[in-house]
Amino acid sequence: MKTTFVTLSEGGKWSERNAIHAKDAENWVLDNRSRLTPFALFVMLQEQHANKRRFQWVWPDQLDDRHYRRLARVIYRQGLN
């Protein structure tokens, strides 16, 4: 199983690295098309230095409640800008 560590700033900068290649971090920016839904978070990411996009669903049971709420708050604030 691959473990990925994600760092998210309040400004929407998303950096991720895996446990094996800790020096090779991928840098993304939270896209304003990310959405809050009643059952999960839809996260749309755009690579910082390329025109590459990806999305993923984040379910409440995947994260600690505190981290899930923080991600939801950042997505909400991105939509206000």
Closest CA to 71 of 53, 59, 54: 59
**What's the total number of domains in the chain?**
1
Residue-wise pLDDT tens digits, 2-42? 777 888 888 889 888 876 665 677 889 999 899 999 999 99
Domain limits for position 43? 4-80
The DSSP string of 12-47 is -EEEEEESSSTT--EEEEE-TT-EE-SS-EEEEEEE
Confidence of residue 65 (pLDDT cuts 50, 70, 90): very high
Entry pTM: 0.82
pLDDT for position 19: 67
